[in-house]
Amino acid sequence: MRRQATLLPAVLPRCPAPPDSPAEHVSRPGRPLFLAVRDRNRGQCVFVDPTNRPQRPPYPLAEIPVLNIPVMRWGEPYESLEIDEVLHFATGEPIAKVSQANGGIIQRDMRKAQQARDTLRQFKISELIAMIAKAADLYENGTLPLGDGVQSPDDFVHQQSASTGLPEHMCRSNMGKNSFVLKNMDRILDCLTRGLDLDILTKGYGMESRGVMLSYQAQAPVLGAVLPSNSPGVHTLWLPVIPLQLGLVLKPGPQEPWTPYRMISAFIEAGIPRNVFSLYPGGPEAGAAVLSSCDRAMIFGGTATVEQYKGNHKVQAHGPGFSKILLGDDVVDDWEKYIDLMAESIYINSGRGCINCSGVWASRHTQEIAQALAEKLGPIEAKPPQDEEAGLAAFTISGMGKAVWNMIETDLKESGVTDMTSQYGDRLVEQERCSYLRPTIVHCKRPENAIAKKEYMYPFSTVVECPQDQMLSKIGPTLVCTAITDNQKWAQELSDATHIDRLNIGPIPTTRLNWLQPHEGSIIDFLFRSRAYQVPE
């Protein structure tokens, strides 16, 4: 029998801001609105200022379920002797105890990987798409089994926020994005396959409507994925796998097991056989085993990770985006029209995504553009994660925020580089167990400035002065490029640039994705091989 999860008092979620907040405390640049400290004797939330002097009356603490989460081996729970605790980023208290898988278990289990594809091919793809649509509602609105307890949508939001540092409203927003993809899977697959009869993917061959024989051969029975902790939005990339009749082998991020476990639970409740799923939380050994044991896998990481798997056709490595906005010479004099678009691209979702803009490039007016962005984003403060206006996610690993800021400070010493947001207070906000970095806008006089090639996991962007005719040779690899121009010749040059992945011609935020378009390559091309297939006429 599944037991209801025990409830543990935890700091921050749902603690209401006291009504007597002094204006000076709220508005002083570089300082948090308040800190919440647990009074262990009274089980209450006491608000204090950063010097630890009590300033507020106590408030009741919210409750977050503490769950024991097992490994899932082809749908069966497995409790390991090795346990990792998922901790609340602000208090250090456990909010989940997660069994850990080792490489040997994963390698043994992958001998049965073909069974996952065989099971899914017993269903039509259209049937799986219908189940996926049902799972969308369960994922977004249902109370689902999780480990030795259950999880409501509110539980999910509180747990994900508490372990990742993301504001709660962003967690809800990411739930909506994942649900949208699931609900529209039929349209997404139709576009990604360019209208292919999906039965051809099931059989491996078939006759196209124009009378041509086609063959698409699955290159693996399952997709493996080594998932991150810091960007819940990446999960949309593996959601099409089940309706494509491949099993899923996931290694969740240590601070973000919530999305993969909840998603798989929703799939199972919607009728998809549980034996097509494996979830292997664990350390680096587990991730390496997933990548080496699966014939098709994806991993998320930094530049070093991308370089490590460069040329490995079995691994799709997703790294930094270095996404940019380019202003053409024909529109740059009207730059004020596009400030809101730039700010949204930099700031939305706390700047954590590879699709967030990390560079604005223009041939002139760059000082004014940087100043306008600094005025818009610079005053933004760190707020508690349950605040609906919170726009910044915490750095949950001790010392990380300070280390990132130290790297930025080093680059700021270079000639021609100016921190335009310094006038709005300190960027680094340190708390007892976490830190925040407030939005940072840096002006660069030339593309060669070292900081012009940097990207960070918070709202950070450079504004780079560069002649239009040199931009394509200077911008480097770019995941999303929004080029605002009516110059058709330049638009064609941008279209031909092989170092740009997603291209927007016109005023479209870099973060506004069309899910009917491929992202960092088509998953169909990655999982299936088009080949010759002939039968007697």
**Per-residue pLDDT reduced to its tens digit, 351-391:** 999 999 999 999 999 999 999 999 999 999 999 999 999 99
What is residue 30's predicted lDDT score, i.e. its pLDDT?
37
One-letter amino acid of 170: M
Angle between helices 185-192 and 125-141 (to 10 degrees): 130
Query: How confident is the model over 188-204, as pLDDT tens digits?
Result: 999 999 889 999 999 99
What is residue 238's predicted lDDT score, i.e. its pLDDT?
95
pTM: 0.86
Q: Where in the chain is CATH 3.40.309.10?
A: 323-505
Distance CA 402, CA 394 (A): 12
What is residue 64's predicted lDDT score, i.e. its pLDDT?
65
Question: Can you say whether the dihedral through the CA atoms of 145, 148, 152, 153 is positive or negative?
Answer: negative
The distance from CA 184 to its chain's CA centroid, rounded to whole angstroms, is 20
Q: Where in the chain is CATH 3.40.605.10?
A: 70-80+101-319+521-528
What is residue 234's predicted lDDT score, i.e. its pLDDT?
87
Q: Residues 6 or more apart from 104 whose CB is under 8 A from it?
A: 289
What CATH number is given for 323-505 in this structure? Answer: 3.40.309.10
Distance CA 346, CA 349 (A): 9
Tokens 């207070």 map to which residue? 425
In 3-state terms, what secondary structure has residue 29?
Answer: coil
What is residue 65's predicted lDDT score, i.e. its pLDDT?
64
Please give the structure tokens belonging to residue 415. 């000639």
Phi/psi at 226 (5° precision): -100, 110
Distance CA 258, CA 457 (A): 20
Please give the structure tokens belonging to residue 236. 């949309």
How large is the greatest C-alpha to C-alpha distance in the chain, in angstroms?
A: 86
What is residue 47's predicted lDDT score, i.e. its pLDDT?
35
Spans of the chain, pLDDT less than 50 = 1-61
Contact at 8 Å (CB) between 138 and 204?
A: no
What CATH number is given for 70-80+101-319+521-528 in this structure? Answer: 3.40.605.10
